[in-house]
Amino acid sequence: MRRGAWAIVGLAAAGLGAGGLGVWATWPESVPPPDWSAEYDTEARPPEQITPGTVVDTSPLQGWSHLVLKSLPRVRDDQRAGLPALTVDKASWMCTAFAADVVPEQQGVHTRYRLRAVGLGLGAEVSGRGHVVLTSDTGRKLGADMGLFGGLILDKGYEVQRRSVVAVLGPTMGLVDTPVWFRCGGENKLVRYRYALLPDPATGRLDVLMWSLGADGAACGQLAEVVRIATDTVDAPELVVDRAKVNRFGAPSDDAFAVEAFPAGKRQPLPPDLRPLAAQTRFTPDEARELERRLRNLPVAD
């Protein structure tokens, strides 16, 4: 069973979506918004890793102010015929967690909230504790039933998750790209989901927008729509199977399973004149600030 796509399937779900959000709250009149363009750190870096042992439920994780998304992939019912039960089971063994930390800072008599960091992690269910962030080294110590393949699944999952990039990190916007196996034109392609995390400086509330950058040379719905995702979302993405990528023993390759729909949530068109900026992978601080401004001004879909 060396082909080990089971873990990557879990990350495909880490496509990491859903739910509606309110309109961005304006600044209190007594606190004019400063120009924070120079504060943006636009040097790409990986997200922080969520600490093994962290419980992933339906509320903020320990050490993080917001659970952005918990993802629990499942092979779609009509895709299971002919697959060994073990393959179907392991495709849904792992969960993914996406967290953000918005922290308060005192400025005179006012409190300003800013985005400190974003984090990703992988885990599985642990008896008596629910879903817990794990690694192959810590799984058994933390009480997980790793079986024969749990370590391999986690190692392969983290291998793909390490491709995630924080493209922009500023006090009022984080831009995070995560890899997701997505069905495009009959093939499974590794695409990039982009998440914009927009904290409210006045209240600490977090708005999350997601869109797809697609894959090179493939029409995967890139830049067509934006999805508003509610924090504390638990998503159960359905996986479809490329039968040509499952061998005669039932072992899947890394690209055997994929999602074919964005995370659930309020969807709306991404304005055509915003798409070039939304697709950039390198930003100046001024470009990052302009992207944030445009995203905050998007109308909220009904």
**DSSP structure string for 42-57:** -S-BPPEEPPTT-EES
198 phi/psi in degrees, rounded to 5: -125, 95
Q: Which pLDDT tens digits describe the chain residue by residue (302 residues)?
A: 444 444 344 434 444 432 222 222 333 333 344 444 455 678 889 999 999 999 999 999 999 999 999 999 999 999 999 999 999 999 899 999 999 999 999 888 889 999 999 999 999 999 999 999 999 999 999 999 999 899 999 999 999 899 999 999 999 999 999 999 999 888 898 889 999 999 999 999 999 999 999 875 556 778 889 999 999 999 999 999 999 998 888 888 888 999 998 887 899 999 999 999 999 989 999 999 999 999 999 998 76
302 within a domain of the structure (yes/no) = no
* Token reading at 301: 């879909």
**Torsion of the alpha carbons at 200, 15, 276 and 22, rounded to the nearest 10:** -30
What pLDDT is stored for residue 221 in this prediction?
74
Cβ atoms within 10 Å, residue 29: 6
227 within a domain of the structure (yes/no) = yes
CB within 8 Å of 116: residues ≥ 6 apart = 101, 102, 103
240 within a domain of the structure (yes/no) = yes
The residue segments making up the domain with residue 260 are 5-296
Instruction: Count the domains in the chain.
Output: 1
255 within a domain of the structure (yes/no) = yes
What pLDDT is stored for residue 39 in this prediction?
58
107 within a domain of the structure (yes/no) = yes
What pLDDT is stored for residue 38 in this prediction?
55
Name the average pLDDT for the chain: 85
Residue range 159-216, pLDDT digits in tens: 989 999 999 999 999 999 999 999 988 889 888 999 999 999 999 999 999 999 987 5
Q: Which residue carries 């008896």 as its tokens?
A: 127
246 within a domain of the structure (yes/no) = yes
301 within a domain of the structure (yes/no) = no
82 within a domain of the structure (yes/no) = yes
